[in-house]
Structure 1
Amino acid sequence: MSVAAFRRASLVCGQALATCLVLLPADAARAQRRGCTITPYTDPPRQVLACPDGFTLSAENASTYRLIDRNRDGRPEAADLNGRGLLVDAPPRQGSFQVRTPHAIASVRGTTWAVDVTPGRTSVFVQAGEVSVSRLSGPGVVLRAGDGVDVDAGTAPLEVKRWSRERAAGLLARFGR
């Protein structure tokens, strides 16, 4: 399925996105050849958007998000995430990929990282590479491999922390990692 078709499906399905993706007609696979493809997985339940340049975005089942393809080239440059989680594996390329949540903005060039959103906070963890994270307004921090940050609706400076193996593994397991 092209990103444009995926975007149309996500607008129709909203929070039931995972169910809609699974129920798309079989001929949707033909539309996937030109750009990014979407594959559903069951263990753990998630959908993976894979693009020809190596970019992948794993969406946890029941995640509420919208992909943004500003230049309409079939590959997203950003995602608005309002609930649950995304895992981004972005190889180095021109430009960056950005995830915007109700609490934070995280952007990257060439790395693997996860974003988890709950009503009260956004958590970002970097598995490899570097990610810049900021509140919707104000200064940000840079996370490196093994670092994480929790961003709430407050105004206190963001505090980078080394995540425990257990916390990192718990988040990454939700994406089959």
Structure 2
Amino acid sequence: MVAKETKLKGCFVLEPSVFEDKRGYFFESYNQKKFDELIGQKVNFVQDNQSFSTKGVIRALHYQIGEHAQAKLVRVLQGRVLDVAVDLRKDSPTFKEHVAIELSEENKKQLYIPRGFAHGFVVLSDTASFFYKCDNFYNKEAEGGIIYNDPELKINWKLDTKELIVSEKDAILPMFKKAKS
């Protein structure tokens, strides 16, 4: 496995070593020891989540604050998504900047998003199964969000606005300036 740090410090794209033959393929999707070595810190994942969505579904931009903040390791099991991480760390030189990475069943890439980031994705294929590990348990009182189309963030979701399917909850998220910190 290879890890490449994005422009956002602590946020990494991980690419596995895939072994293919006439039977199919094999790869190690997660190894605690290797993962910790690659990103330079110990992360203890405690919860796994999985979602299934259709094309245009946007699940964004979510985070948890304080002692309930979460780091995530995300990947696509089936389909293709544009995955986005936004730096919410006020003392960071990349505060308010984002990275957008295409994750798919074909490229098998993963994105590690440390604590202090908002996260979201949009489904680019007909359907997608999305999987993520979290290093902290979900806590409803600590959840925060930012509206996906905040003009200040300038995120290109790669689909026309008419194609996007947004939940009622996500459609009323605040702008970045008014988000919970």
Normalised-by-shorter TM-score class: 0.3 to 0.5
Higher helix share: 1
Q: TM-score, normalised by structure 2?
A: 0.35
Q: TM-score, normalised by structure 1?
A: 0.35
Higher relative contact order (CA 8 A, sep 6+): 2
